[in-house]
Chains A and B, each alone.
Chain A
Amino acid sequence: MGAMRRLTVSRWIIAVLLLGALVLLGGPPDAAALGALWPSAVFGLAVVLSAFLWVTASGTKNQPWQAHFDQAALAGLMFALPPWLVIVCAAAGGALWGVLARKRAISIWFNAANVMIAGAPLALLAEWADLASGPVRLWHVGLVLAGGVAYEYLSWYGVMLACRTTHAEPPVSRPGDCLETLAVSTLAQVGAACTFAIAFRESQPALLPIGVILLACVWHAHRALMSELAEDEPAQRLRTLPALLAHPVRSAEQLEALAERLRDLLGADLLVLKAAGESGRYSISRPFGEAAGRDLAAEAAALGVSDVPRVLPRPLLPAGWKFGMTVCIRAGDTAGSAPPYIGRLVVAWRQRPPGLYLAGKVPRTLRNAVSSAGHALGPIVEQVDSFNELVEERRRLQAVVKHDTIGIVVVDEAGKVVVWNDAMAALTGVNGSQALEHDSGGVLTLMTPDGQKVRLGEEPSGSLILLRPDQERRYVRVSSNRDSGSLGGTYYCAAFVDETRERDLATLEKLLVANATHELLTPLTSIRGFSQLICAHVGDGQDLLAESAAAIQRSVDEMTTLINDLIDASRTQAAGKAVISTVDAGALVRKAVAALPGAPDRVRVHLKRHVRARADPVQLERCIDTLLRDAVRHADPRRTITVTSQARGGWTHLSIQCRIQPEERAGEVRLATIPGLGLGLFKVRSWLASMHGDLTVEATPEGRLLMTMKVPR
C-alpha cells in the first residue's frame, strides 16, 4: 500500500509540474522565428537525439525508457514541421505501419510509424489553432493535452491492432487498463514535446532546460512505476523461484510436485513440461483443464529451439486463453558444445498475468522466470534420470538377489557378508539375519572336491563342496568375481547353484551308463575275441572263413567306436546346467592356450582389448580347450593356429582358424572323416547351447578350417 501511495503522489507531482510549466510558457510566440530556426543547429541536435534514441531502443521489445524520449522528440519534431510535411509524414507512417504489420515485425520502427500517424492530427490541430503564430493561451494547453491523450490512445490502439494482426504479445489488454499511467506519461511527453516545439519555433533556447526537466520527469515516473511494480505480489513470488529450483528433485513424483509449485509461483493456469531423458520420458501437464487433448509442447515446438522464451501465438493457446510462453529445455552443461535439446516448458494464463498490463518490467521479470525455470529443468530432468536409473538398477539387483534358485552372496573386503539372499539361506540353512554383517567364514565353508578350503576372496569358480553348519555337504557350482570401484570399495560377489540333486542324478546316470556299457561291450568282447581265434586258426583254402572273421572284427570296431561316442555324448549332456555370469573370455583363451602341452608356440592369439561374454566360465573354458586341442591335433604342424575375437551386436565371436594336415584333406575336407573332431564339435555345441550360444564350422577344399563360437555379450 505504501508503495502504491508513493506512486500516486509521484504521478500527481509530475502532473502539477507539467501544468505549471505549460502555464508559464504563455506569451507571444514569434512566427518568423521558425524560418530562422530551420535548419538550425539545435534542430539538427534534436534530430540526432531522436535517431540515437531510436537506435538504442531498437531490438528491445517492451519499450524501455528510451522509447519515451524518442516518442517525445519525434512528437516535438512533428509539431515543428509545416502542415504539408506533417501530412507526408503521416502517409509515410501509414505505409511503414502496413509493411511492418504484414511482416509481423513489432519493433521500435513500428512505434515510430504509430507516432507519425497519431501525431499528425495533433500537429495539424496545433496549426489550425495557430499555436505557432499567436500567443499561447490556457485553452491551447488544454487542447494540446487533449490531443496528447488522443494521440497516445491512437498510438496504443495502433499497437493493439498490429498485435491482433500479427498474433504477437500485446503490451496491454485494453488502453483503459492503464488510463492513469497513460495520462501521466502523456502529460510528461506532450509537455516536453510542446516545450521543445515552442523553444524551436520561437527561438527560446532558455525553454530547452525545461523540456529536459520534463523528460527527466518522464524518466522519474517510469522508474517510480517500475519500482512499484517490482514490489507487487507476483514479483515477490518470483523472487522465491531460485530457491524452488535449487530444491533437490530426484524422482518423477518430485518433478511433478515441482511443476505444480512452479505453476503456482508463476501464477499460471497451465504448466506443461515435456522432456525426454535417457531413462524415460516426462510429460507433466498441470492442470489438464481446457488444454486437455492438446499437445501444447509439441505445437510450441514449431517455434523452434531457442534458449530465449517465446510468446505463444494465440492460435496455439486453448480457445479464450490470453497469454502463453514457452522455452526449450536443454540437458546440463556440456563442456565445449551446446547441451542437447531434451524438451520444452509451456506456461499459459487464462487471464492476463497480474501487473503485465505495463509494458516493461513485469513481463521481463516473468520472462526471466520462465527462462530460469527452463534452464534449471534440464539438470533437474537429468537428476531424475539418474535417480530412475539407480532405482532400476536396484530393482534389477533386487530381482537377481531375490532369485529363487541361485544363491547370491556379497562379501566386503573385511570378509563381512553384506548380501545374503533367500536361496542362499535355503542352501546353507543360515538365514539372512544370522549371516548379514557376520564373518563369511563362520556361515559359509567352501571346499574343493579334494578337501581344500576355499575363501570367497580367492574368487572361486566351478564345482565345489559347500559344508553347511550342520555338516551336511552340498555340491555347488560357483561363479564369483571381485568388484572394485562401482560399489565404492572392494566387494566379492558369488553366485551358487545347488547341484546336489543334479549330482545324485548324474551319479545314477553314470552308474546306468557304466552298466549299459558293460552289458554292450561284454558281448562285443566275445565276438571280437572269438573272431580273432577263428582268424588265427583258419587253414589254407579257408579264405572265406578268414575274410568273414575279419569283417566281423571290423564291424565290432565300428560298433565299439559308436558305443564310446554315445557314452561320451551322454556324459557331456549330463554335465549340468550353466551358471551364467560376465566373464573375460580373453583370459580364458590365454589360459587354455598356455595349458596346451607343447602347443602355445603354434597358437597366435589376436584378441580385442575387452572380450566380454555372458557365459559359464567353466563350460566356456571347456569349449575353448576342446576346440584348441582338436585344432592342435588335426592342424598342419607347419602352420600356425589363429585365435581371434570380434564383438558384433549382442554377441562375442571367438574364432579358431587352422589348416588341416594334408593327409586329412585329400581332395575335400569332410569333418565327419576327421577322427574325433565330430564328437568334439558335438560336445562344444552342447556346452554352448546350454549358454545360449552356438558353434559354426567352415571347412574349405583348400584345408582351411574355421571354428567360431558365438556367445552372448
Chain B
Amino acid sequence: MKILVVEDDPTIQQLLGIMLRQAGHEVTMAGDGYEGWEAVAHAAPPDVAILDVMMPGLDGMRLRERLRRHPPTARLPVLMLTAASGHVPAESPDTLVLPKPFDMNDLFDRLNRLTRPDDPA
C-alpha cells in the first residue's frame, strides 16, 4: 500500500517510516503541507495519507481541505495525527484521527479501517 506521510518532526517521520516499511508499505515522506501537496499533485495519488495536524506553513487541516477539493484525491483516506490540543477534525469514513503519542497497534488498526472499511476486524 502506498502511504504518504506528511510530518514536520524528523524523528516522528523516521518512526513512522520504520513502522510502515516494516509492515510492507511503500512510504513517501513530506516535511510540511506544501511538500505533501506537491507529492500528490504531480504524481499518482497514494492509497492513504497520514497528516500531522499542526505543521508550519500549510498545516494538516488545510492540506486535507485542499486534497478534498482535488478530484483525484477527493476521497483519499486520511489519518490525522494530533497532539490532542487545538482543533481536532471530526472523524468520517474517509478521515480518522489518531492522538499523539500513539500506540503502534492503534496506527495499524486505523489504517486498516480506512483502507478496508468493510472488514470487521
Contacts and interface: CB of A to CB of B under 8 A. Distances in A.
Contact of B103 (A524, A526, A532, A567): A532
Contact of A514 (B9, B86, B102): B86
B101 A521 contact: yes
B34 to A, nearest CB: 19
A529 B104 contact: yes
A529 B101 contact: yes
B54 interface: yes
A525 B85 contact: no
A575 interface: no
B104 A536 contact: yes
Contact of A517 (B18, B83, B103): B83
A510 interface: yes
A530 B16 CA distance: 10
Contacts of B86: 510, 514, 517-518
9 contacts: A518-B83, A522-B100, A523-B11, A526-B9, A529-B101, A530-B15, A533-B19, A533-B104, A536-B104
A520 B9 CA distance: 12
Interface magnitude class on chain B: 10 to 19
B84 A525 contact: no
Interface magnitude class on chain A: 20 to 34
Contact of B104 (A517, A532, A564): A532
Contacts of B12: 522, 525-526, 529
Contacts of A564: 84
Contacts of A524: 100-101
Interface class of chain A by DSSP:
helix
Contacts of A520: 83
B55 to A, nearest CB: 10
A533 B18 contact: yes
Nearest to A524: B101
Given A533-B104, A536-B104, A517 B19 contact: no
A554 to B, nearest CB: 13
A525 B54 contact: no
Given A526-B9, A529-B15, 13 more contacts: A514-B54, A514-B86, A515-B54, A518-B54, A521-B100, A526-B15, A527-B101, A528-B103, A529-B101, A530-B15, A532-B103, A533-B104, A567-B84
Contacts, number: 61
Contacts of A521: 83-84, 100-101
Contact of A526 (B11, B54, B83, B104): B11
Interface string B93-110: 000000011111000000
Contacts of B102: 525, 528-529
A559 to B, nearest CB: 9
Residue from B11, B83, B101 with most neighbouring chain A CB atoms (10 Å): B101
Nearest to B10: A526
A567 B101 contact: no
A556 interface: yes
Given A523-B11, A533-B18, A517 B101 contact: no
Contacts of B103: 528, 532
A567 B83 CA distance: 11
Residue from A518, A521, A530, A532 with most neighbouring chain B CB atoms (10 Å): A518
A463 interface: no
A238 to B, nearest CB: 87
Given A528-B101, A528-B103, A560-B101, A514 B11 contact: no
Nearest to B16: A529
B17 to A, nearest CB: 11
Q: A-B pairs with the 5 shortest C-beta distances?
A: A517-B85, A514-B86, A525-B101, A529-B15, A528-B101
Contacts of B83: 514, 517-518, 520-522
